[in-house]
Amino acid sequence: MSSSGMLLKVESPLPIGQKIEVSVDWPAQLNATCGLKLVAMGKVIRSGPEVAAVSIEKYDFRTRATKAVEVAATASSL
């Protein structure tokens, strides 16, 4: 991963030019208490049977929900 692109492991080739959004749990925390995730939007520039290269067009760091909120959201959707 770099500031302009990332290489992803994929189960099957992705269409070249397809717009995608990738979400990555980030290891650092905000104020040492709140989890972060990187959300990157871009397009597939190269793809094969096991990997795809994505050019990042826009990215944003967002806060992650706490485990209690994630569990409650999952339980309410059942």
- Choose between 73 and 8: higher pLDDT: 8
Residues 17-61: tens digit of each pLDDT: 999 999 988 877 777 778 888 899 999 999 999 999 999 999 998
CA distance 51 to 9: 4
Can you give the residue range of the structural domain that contains 55?
A: 5-76
Q: State the total domains in the chain.
A: 1
Query: pTM higher than 0.85, yes or no?
Result: no
Tokens of 32: 């040492």
Whether residue 69 has pLDDT greater than 80: no
CATH number at residue 42: 2.60.40
